[in-house]
Amino acid sequence: MLRRLILGRLVDLAFVLVCVSIVVFAMIRLIPGDAVAIMLGANTEVTPEKVAALRAQIGLDQPMAVQYWHWIAKAVQGDLGTSLWTGKPVAAEIAAHVWPTLQLTMLALVLGAGLAVPAGCLMARLRGRGADAAMRVVTVAGLTIPSFWLGIVMILALATLAPSLQLLGYVPFADDPLGNLARLALPATALGLPILANLSRLVRSAMLDALGQDYIRTARAKGVPERGIVYRHALRNALIPFVTSVGIMTGYLLGGAIVVEQVFAIPGLGRLILGAIAERNYPLLQATILVVTLGFVVVNFCVDLLYLAIDPRVRA
Amino acid sequence: MARRGLRTLLLSGLFAAALAGAATAQVLEVAVDASPVGLDPHRATAFSTFQIINGTIYEGLTAIDKDLRVQPGLAASWTIAPDGKTYTFKLRPGMTFHDGSKVEAADVVATIHRVLSKEIASPLASRLAALDTATAPDAATVVLHLKEPSAPLLVSIATIAIVPRSMETEKEALQRAPIGTGPFKFKEWQANGFVALEKNPHYWRAGAPKLDGVKFNIVPESATRQVGISSGQYSMLPNIDAATALQLKGKPGVKLAETLELAYSFVAVNTSRPPFDNAKVREAVNYALNRQEIIAAALFGAGVPAGPLSPALKDWATPTSAFPCYKYDPAKAQALLKEAGHTAPVAISINVLPRQDIRDIAQVVQAQLNKAGFKVELKNQELGQFIQDWRNSNFDMFASANAGSPDPDDYFYRTFRTGGSTNVFKYSNPEIDGLLDTARTMQDAAQRRAAYDKAQRILACDGPVMHIAYGQLFTALRTNVQGFEIIANRSLATLADTTAK
């Protein structure tokens, strides 16, 4: 039963990946202005022969289905091709950009999801009081403020309040662990705050839902202290929607990372994707999106597995 | 308690060291907005690459100085045969490439072959179109034989970076690990992070470079770059526009270097279809444009009205006061449209290059043309779409900006000659063709100047390009940066003589 469940999920995962690979492949080619146009740029001298030669070199002269087949056949063997511009293997480009993004999203997730549980529980316990209302207003603000704006404001504030702190850019953790964390603190906060706002509201309502259940009344009746009721009995049930949302949030995080990396000049996957779109770097873009998608579906696969741990009923 | 105190001390010490580390070595921290598309000087010709490699990593036989005039580069001197078809260059003695090999005439010849080769497919190949053969009679002498005299040759070869002969057929290596002769050599490229250059201790010019290195940080967000230079984390923002410069003006610790740009903003029309196939309608556009107003509204006043050549080219430019159609006169524009047979407002669309200053300019142009008998629709396009329409001549009018060139032939011939390689306007004027054909082979400077003067007077009112403005170009520097000179072609070659104490 369990094995079938996991197998089914794995099939879903493969299906999603194939669909995404097709959509991305087609989409980047359907945008007007192909790689050759961008490569040659406006106002350079171009002969039709040169354009044709470049197109053939990239393989754009072939039908799209043939191009896709060539690409996917190599990709499943682990060969993601080479970047059109730098000539570097795409896998190496992705490897060089993946760590900043992973670090940034993990920090933001830890910050956002980690604080959301106590914040949500607190709001549920304070329900109806002024403090609850105030916190809810703050979370709505958190939901509506975009990360990139928050990021710019934080940079400006830092420059005004503490101009001697020079924390722009990125240094690898291995080179300078403290400098690395100091530089990631602001972007992780900018990225994590909307998640904190979103998830804490979710925890609050799930918590209130759970607190209204019969077993809570029973627990109260047998004299379990309020703290125990909230954190031992109700929280576990309230966590299921929370865990689902965390899985979906990783998608949001990767999207948000694109703009936050842009603002804070962090050399991550988001910058790689934006650059690849602008220069129509087909192999690089296809592979990067595929890797990001893989990350997203794997996280959600893990979330599904987590249900099994949290809720025994799913196993039945 | 003591242990805890010690740990705090240690941590804060580390933190301070991390922050102070950059200040000890004299490395100039530069912030640029875009990653280079590669570092091969013959294949990557985008501006994002040019400003990192030109005159820093790579050099040509000749060089362009801050007044945009030709100076000796790797060639110490040259002679031109009386027929104008043979150029003999003498290389400086004792120069080496960054990989340690000697710079010899064979390297120059191999470089020229590389630029012309089909496999490398260099966009620079057309600059050598007049070349017949290149030979190296001895290790210090390069001889270029031309098919016909070419006046712009010395300017054209300034942008042909000399690379080691071992690179002649090497396609990818230079894109990632450039090897040149310049004052700085390549150290590291962290994709989307930075490009770091370090001092070339064997540079041929004594006393240069003065810096230990230059680090080009890639910072896409404009607000972040501005904060970075205000706080001193970055010491230079090269080639910024007037809007950014205005915001940095007067900030403590920041100074601005400025020059008139060689690059120009313009609108251009398609002369192969109505309404702009009619020269009267083109003339009407010129009368309808108020260039001063555009500069005031869209460029914050930082610029001058543009004729076909930049006043930065002191030897060549004809002043705009010589062009009758540059007088702002919307009534005259409407009269011309009537003469051309248009009674109702003439409906046209403008494709707009996705760049803020061009968008602003296009909006003012739209308002001005609407007042003078046109009905203008603006199309704000994504870059790929814009280039595609440009290449396919799929436009009524477009608004854009071009980098200029120090020699008029480089711009005029390919742009306005019938069938020219960037004549996407399909403009054809036998008189212009004749002028451009003869001017490029003229040896006498005064004669050549007269020919281009005539060409400018025709192009200004009849041509397919309505030049709008040469903007003011700025570079923001920390006040401790000395010796840097801004050059109108956006090259950062003067970093060789820059210090940051």
CA closest to B381 among chain A residues: A32
pLDDT digits (tens, 9 = 90+) for A200-216: 988 888 888 888 888 88
A37 Cβ under 8 Å from any chain B Cβ: yes
From chain A, pick out residues whose CB is under 8 angstroms from the CB of B234: 168
CATH, domain range B59-173: 3.90.76.10
Q: Would an 8 Å CB–CB cutoff place A183 in contact with chain B?
A: no
By the CB < 8 Å criterion, does A185 face chain B?
A: no
pLDDT digits (tens, 9 = 90+) for B284-312: 999 999 999 999 999 888 899 999 998 88
> Which residues of B fall within a CB distance of 8 Å from A163?
230-232
- What pLDDT score was predicted for residue B22? 43
Q: Where in chain A is the domain with CATH 1.10.3720.10?
A: 98-315
pLDDT score of B265? 92
| CATH homologous superfamily, domain B264-471 | Dipeptide-binding Protein; Domain 3 (3.10.105.10)
Count CB pairs under 8 A between chains A and B: 147
pLDDT band at A5 (very low <50, low <70, confident <90, very high): confident
Closest CA to B18 of A100, A166, A268: A166
Element (H, E) at B30: strand B27-32
Is A40 an interface residue toward B (CB < 8 Å)?
yes
Q: Which of B44, B219, B387 sits opposite A38 (nearest CB)?
A: B387
Query: Minimal Cα–Cα distance from B295 to chain A, Å?
Result: 23
Which chain B residue is nearest to residue A41, measuring alpha carbons?
B387
Mutate to test the interface with A, among B227, B351, B389 (most CBs of A within 10 A): B227
Cα–Cα nearest to B407, from B150, B161, B160: B150
A179:B18 CB<8 A: yes
| Overall fold of domain B27-36+177-260+473-500 | D-Maltodextrin-Binding Protein; domain 2 (3.40.190)
| Best A31, A34, A44, A58 residue to mutate vs chain B (most B CBs within 10 Å) | A44
d(CA B12, CA A255): 35
Do A178 and B387 make contact, defined as CB atoms within 8 angstroms?
no
- Whose tokens are 């051309």? That residue is B340
Question: Global pTM?
Answer: 0.81
Q: Which residues of A touch B353 (CB under 8 A)?
A: 42
Query: Could B121 and A50 be called an inter-chain contact, meaning their C-beta atoms sit closer than 8 Å?
Result: yes
pLDDT value for A44? 59
Across the interface, which of A38, A47, A88 has its CB nearest the CB of B421? A47
Q: Does A279 touch chain B (CB under 8 A)?
A: yes
Of the candidates B233, B388, B422, the beta carbon closest to that of A45 is on B422
pLDDT at site A258: 84
Q: pLDDT at residue A41 above 70? A: no
Q: What is the pLDDT of residue B337?
A: 92
Three-class SS of residue B319? coil
CB of A204 within 8 Å of any CB in chain B? no
Other beta carbons less than 10 A from residue A56's beta carbon: 12
Whether residue B223 and residue A86 make contact (CB cut-off 8 A), yes or no, is no
Please, what's the largest Cα pairwise distance for chain A? Answer: 86
Q: Could B387 and A278 be called an inter-chain contact, meaning their C-beta atoms sit closer than 8 Å?
A: no
Distance from CA of A86 to the nearest CA of B (A): 6
- Look at A169 and B193 and tell me if their CB atoms are within 8 Å: yes
- Residue A177 is which amino acid? P
**What element of type H or E holds A182?**
helix A177-211
Query: pLDDT of A62-119, one tens digit each?
Result: 888 888 888 888 888 888 888 877 777 889 889 988 999 999 999 999 999 889 988 8
Look at B386 and A42 and tell me if their CB atoms are within 8 Å: yes
Residue A301 scores a pLDDT above 90: no
**Chain A nearest C-alpha distance from B425 (Å):** 12
Q: Count Cα neighbours of B102 within 13 Å in the Cβ-side half-sphere.
A: 9
The rounded distance, in Å, linking the Cα atoms of B402 and B266 is 8
pLDDT computed for residue B12 by the predictor: 46
Measured between alpha carbons, how far is B470 from B261 in angstroms, rounded to an integer? 6
**How far is it, in rounded angstroms, from Cα B178 to Cα A111?**
42
Q: Which of A54, A158, A176 sits opposite B18 (nearest CB)?
A: A176
**Tens-binned pLDDT, residue by residue, of chain B (501 aa):** 344 444 444 444 444 444 444 445 799 999 998 888 789 999 887 788 899 999 999 999 999 988 888 999 999 999 999 988 999 999 999 999 999 999 999 999 999 999 999 888 787 887 888 899 999 999 999 999 999 888 889 988 998 999 999 999 988 889 889 999 999 999 999 888 899 999 999 999 998 899 999 999 999 888 889 889 988 889 999 999 888 898 899 888 999 999 988 889 999 999 999 999 999 999 999 999 999 999 999 988 889 999 999 888 888 999 999 999 999 999 999 999 999 988 889 999 999 998 888 999 999 999 999 999 999 999 998 877 888 888 888 999 999 988 888 889 888 998 999 988 788 899 999 999 999 999 988 888 899 999 999 999 999 999 999 999 998 999 999 999 999 999 988 899 999 999 988
- Banded pLDDT at A167 (limits 50, 70, 90): confident
Q: Is A160 on the interface with B (CB under 8 A)?
A: no
Neighbours of B256 (CB within 10 A): 18
**Minimal Cα distance from A149: which residue of B?**
B223
User: B172 contacts in A (CB within 8 Å)?
Assistant: 87
Q: Which residues of A touch B383 (CB under 8 A)?
A: 33, 38, 278
Sequence spans of domains, chain B: 27-36+177-260+473-500, 59-173, 264-471
Q: Is A31 in Cβ contact with B384 (below 8 Å)? A: yes
CA distance B312 to B307: 11
Flag whether residue A264 sits within 8 Å of chain B, measured between CB atoms.
Answer: yes
Residues of A with Cβ-Cβ distance to B44 under 8 angstroms: 85
Interface of A with B in 74-103 (CB under 8 A): 85-88, 93, 96-97
> Are A159 and B231 contacting, i.e. CB atoms less than 8 angstroms apart?
yes
For position B180, what pLDDT does the model report? Answer: 95
Contact B382 A32 (CB under 8 A): yes
CATH 3.90.1720.10 fits A98-315, yes or no: no
Residues on chain B touching A87 (C-beta within 8 angstroms): 38, 171-172, 175-176
Closest CA relative to residue B47, chosen from B198, B239, B190? B239
Smallest Cβ distance to B224: which of A37, A263, A267?
A: A263
Task: Report pLDDT for A48.
Answer: 67
Give the pLDDT confidence of A189-198 residue by residue, as tens digits.
Answer: 999 988 899 8
User: Cβ distance B469 to B332 under 8 Å?
Assistant: no
Token pair belonging to B250: 């007067």
Contacts 24+ apart (CB under 8 A), A180-184: A180/A103, A182/B15, A182/B18, A183/A264, A184/A103, A184/A104, A184/A107, A184/A266
* More confident: A50 or B166: B166
Chain B residue at shortest CA distance from A154: B224
Phi then psi dihedrals of residue B91, to 5 deg: -75, 155
Looking at residue B314, its amino acid is K
Give me the interface pTM, i.e. the ipTM. Answer: 0.76
